Chain A
Amino acid sequence: MTDATQSGPMLAADGTPLKKSLARSLRRRKLRALALIAPLLLFVMLSFVIPIVSMLMRSVENGIVAETLPLTVVELQNWDAEGGELPDEALYAAFIKDMIVAVEAKTHTRLGTRLNYEQTGMSSMFRKSGRNIKRLDPEADAPFKEKLIEIHDGWGDVETWRTIKTHAVPITNGYFLNAVDMRRTPEGAQAQPEDKQILIKLFGRTLMMSLIITGACILLAYPVSYLLATLPMRVSNLLMILVLLPFWTSLLVRTSAWKVMLQQQGVINETLVWLGLVADDARLVIINNQFGTIIAMTHILLPFMILPMYSVMQTIPPSYTRAAKSMGATNWTTFWRIYFPQSIPGIGAGSILVFILAIGYYITPEIVGGTKGVFISNRIAYHISSSLNWGLAAALGTILLAVVLLLYWCYDKIVGIDNVKLG
């Protein structure tokens, strides 16, 4: 009877309310789980998230102008860039003061490199002028306007000062504009001259060719995976090794092997000429173009399609197809209505893997792509290691990342990410 009168919350053995006690033990378990994944989380944060975010930040960072020329930037605010008149003596004096400090710290050439991305000639102008400005005294040698123009006539060009003013902002959209074939000018964003437009085209080509490669992978991988999943274990294991062997071979070796196969004096052409199918002076051009890139990349990415497809197909019970056939379905109907729908999650998983890998490829296109088969990643690599325009490289990378995320979102809306299975 005592139980019935006690209408309060249910108590645990030690007298605390059961709900509270349960929550506490759940929290403890959650903390333990968190502690278990903490090393991984920390590792991913330090080695993946932070570097990527800091790299992406470079696409808008532009503190270098204001840091190197602080006094000049202030003076530039008072100067009318549209007037077509050169700045007055005050600005030149401020510029000399800034430059003397910058030359001492050797940051003026770095600024020259930065501004050279915007106006050709800035790099040598800063380097050459630095040597002479070092000898000037900020008090005794005034006025500077004439002297500076004598050192380099670029300082007597209104365009020079307009460029510095345009790019003096600490956070810039300039790199992103460059990444979509536009540029930041005093009059606002404008299109690049036509003979320098290339990046939009490369983005389009990268997406298009990645889709083609994904499609080719689906077509080639489906029958192979089907065989692997339905053949007896002994045979399918052997076939599996054939799939995995190239997967374990170095990327460069496989790409170079395609070079030997596809070039005009290569294996395929030689064979076709020997068979008389192709005239000796009309050998096929199947490398150093888009075709070469598609062939080599399809081959390299094929295992990424086969493996998820295979593991999904293995889980499809053969009794379903037998049941369909026993009820009078033709082979085609059985496949199309029963088998194929169940294998779609494998296609989905494989396609996402292959597409995302393909979109960032650059070694293979560089080697077999010639001029028409290169991807946007090749330009990113160029700007990272050759031109050192890391801001532009970061902007291109950010756009590529955004495009992938957008496509992923579309995929989720259309197909549904729940329909993706790796086995």
Chain B
Amino acid sequence: MKVTITTLMASALAAVAGGAMAQEMTIVSWGGAYSKSQLKAYHEPYSEKTGITILNDDSSNEAVAKLRAMNEAGNITWDVVDVVASDAIRLCDEGLAMEIDHDTMLEPAPDGSPASEDFGELIVSDCYIPSIVYSTTFGYRTDLVGDNPPTEICAVFDLETYPGKRSLEKRPINNMEWALLCDGVAKDDVYDVLATPEGQDQALAKLDTIKDSVVWWSAGADTPQLLADGEVVMGSTYNGRLFSVIEEQNQPVAMLWDAQVFDIDGWIIPAGLDEERKQRALDYLRFATDTQRLADQAKYISYGPARASSAPLVGQHAELGIDMAPHMPTDPENAKNTFLYNYEFWADYRDDIDAKFQAWLAQ
């Protein structure tokens, strides 16, 4: 009954809104500086070109849960949704996102090679159109580490050389991998080891050695604040956040790119849109994920474009006028030692390891 009522109300609303709806679309993203970069690079030029009004909704954080609820209510109000890769995989699994044929629905690269080749292995799900590569990495206070700035990830676990607090995300993902790396596990074996209960215990035991010196964060803005206030000597967060602390706010902070974990952010279209809205969403995405547009976004935020063909086009920051290429996580200088978030592994193990991790935290 709930469904019928909601559908009735939705269709009534749609009938009332009628013509106005045709020229509007709702795009969901993360808010803050990230949404601003999308607004400048994608939304504004697209609105100018087509006259379509774009409404922003900063709900990407709860996108999966909300899309599931909308799907159950039979009333999907979003047209295009920006999500991280692991969420895209889950949405695709749950049948909540539409499958995309990358080669026919997206622009080819300027040299004519099809989109699926241009994006390459970043297309981690059939429903997903990647737009940027970001990384989770560490920043440290340059004034608190003396003459011996950290150069590698295991400095995080070295309380003797670098005393003081560190901030880590309040979830097992990334932390468990770093712990194993610094406990002598080879990079290629990390996920094999982490798949066993003994490996999980090993990672937690390593984290145990610094547990008393860790401030656990749950919002991306926490580490920048903790670093700026001098609460922590080093901390993990998204590289774009550190860029703004270092370059825009001029704090005495530097990046430790070692063992940065790459992750992808990009678009999905909710399943079950009517044909008209679906075509409009696809038209927007064809525009917003072409080679030039992806390179344009890097003018406003230090995340790497997901197309290989966009990399040479990355220019300078729109306001600061500094070269953006050296601040990209994908820059060869920064990407000497990297990890790619293992989606398959975490899709399976996330609940299991998270339960252990939370129980360990609560001890």
| B160 in contact (CB, < 8 A) | no
A110 and B356 contact, Cβ closer than 8 Å, known pairs A116-B348, A385-B61:
no
Complex alpha-carbon distance, A193 and B68, angstroms: 31
Complex alpha-carbon distance, A264 and B347, angstroms: 37
Chain B's interface size range is: 35 or more
CB distance from B353 to the nearest CB of A (A): 8
| A244 in contact (CB, < 8 A) | no
- Are the CB atoms of A123 and B348 closer together than 8 Å? yes
Which residues of B have CB within 8 Å of A371? 170, 216, 361-362
Across the interface, A110 reaches (CB within 8 A) one of B62, B65, B93, B351, namely B93
Please indicate which of the listed interface residues B92, B93, B95, B360 has the most CB atoms of chain A within 10 Å of its own CB: B93
Complex alpha-carbon distance, A198 and B62, angstroms: 24
- Show 21 residue pairs from A and B whose CB-CB distance is below 8 angstroms, ordered by the A residue: A110-B94, A113-B93, A116-B347, A120-B348, A120-B351, A120-B352, A127-B347, A198-B355, A198-B359, A264-B165, A288-B215, A366-B218, A367-B218, A371-B362, A372-B362, A384-B65, A385-B64, A385-B65, A387-B350, A387-B354, A388-B90
- Are the CB atoms of B355 and A109 closer together than 8 Å? no
Q: Which partner residue on chain A sits nearest B212 by CB separation?
A: A285
In the complex, per-residue mask of B219-257: 1 if CB is within 8 Å of any chain A CB, else 0: 000000000011100000000000000000000000000
CB distance from A156 to the nearest CB of B (A): 18
- Are the CB atoms of A110 and B358 closer together than 8 Å? no
| A370 in contact (CB, < 8 A) | yes
- Are the CB atoms of A121 and B90 closer together than 8 Å? no
A109 and B65 contact, Cβ closer than 8 Å, known pairs A120-B349, A196-B356, A370-B216:
no
Which residues of B have CB within 8 Å of A113? 90, 93-94
Which residues of A have CB within 8 Å of B95? 105-107, 109-110
Which residues of A have CB within 8 Å of B121? none
CB distance from A96 to the nearest CB of B (A): 20
Which residues of A have CB within 8 Å of B275? none
| B49 in contact (CB, < 8 A) | no
- Are the CB atoms of B358 and A387 closer together than 8 Å? no
| B344 in contact (CB, < 8 A) | yes
Which residues of A have CB within 8 Å of B68? 388
- Are the CB atoms of A50 and B2 closer together than 8 Å? yes
- Are the CB atoms of A196 and B355 closer together than 8 Å? yes
Which residues of A have CB within 8 Å of B356? 195-196
- Are the CB atoms of A109 and B92 closer together than 8 Å? yes
Which residues of A have CB within 8 Å of B229? 263, 265-266
CB distance from A266 to the nearest CB of B (A): 8
Which residues of B have CB within 8 Å of A110? 93-95
Complex alpha-carbon distance, A107 and B218, angstroms: 32
Interface residues of A in 164-200 (CB under 8 A from B): 192, 195-198
CB distance from B160 to the nearest CB of A (A): 16
Which residues of B have CB within 8 Å of A195? 201, 356, 359-360
In the complex, per-residue mask of B53-85: 1 if CB is within 8 Å of any chain A CB, else 0: 000000001101100100000000000000000
Across the interface, B216 reaches (CB within 8 A) one of A192, A288, A384, namely A288
CB distance from A240 to the nearest CB of B (A): 34
Which residues of A have CB within 8 Å of B362? 198, 201-202, 371-372, 374
- Are the CB atoms of A389 and B351 closer together than 8 Å? yes
| A331 in contact (CB, < 8 A) | no
Which residues of A have CB within 8 Å of B351? 116-117, 120, 387, 389
In the complex, per-residue mask of A368-389: 1 if CB is within 8 Å of any chain B CB, else 0: 0011101000010010110111
| A112 in contact (CB, < 8 A) | yes
Complex alpha-carbon distance, A113 and B62, angstroms: 18
- Are the CB atoms of B348 and A121 closer together than 8 Å? yes
Q: Which partner residue on chain B sits nearest A110 by CB separation?
A: B94
Q: Which partner residue on chain A sits nearest B65 by CB separation?
A: A385
CB distance from A124 to the nearest CB of B (A): 5
Q: Which partner residue on chain A sits nearest B345 by CB separation?
A: A124
Complex alpha-carbon distance, A263 and B354, angstroms: 27
| A25 in contact (CB, < 8 A) | no
Complex alpha-carbon distance, A196 and B360, angstroms: 8
Please indicate which of the listed interface residues B61, B64, B352, B358 has the most CB atoms of chain A within 10 Å of its own CB: B358
| A5 in contact (CB, < 8 A) | no
- Are the CB atoms of A112 and B65 closer together than 8 Å? no
| A54 in contact (CB, < 8 A) | yes
Interface residues of B in 311-363 (CB under 8 A from A): 344, 347-352, 354-356, 358-362
Complex alpha-carbon distance, A54 and B358, angstroms: 29
- Are the CB atoms of B347 and A123 closer together than 8 Å? yes
CB distance from B252 to the nearest CB of A (A): 14
Complex alpha-carbon distance, A382 and B218, angstroms: 11
CB distance from B32 to the nearest CB of A (A): 14
Which residues of B have CB within 8 Å of A198? 355, 358-359, 362
Which residues of B have CB within 8 Å of A385? 61-62, 64-65
Q: Which partner residue on chain B sits nearest A205 by CB separation?
A: B362
CB distance from A194 to the nearest CB of B (A): 8
Interface residues of B in 172-202 (CB under 8 A from A): 201
Q: Which partner residue on chain A sits nearest B354 by CB separation?
A: A387
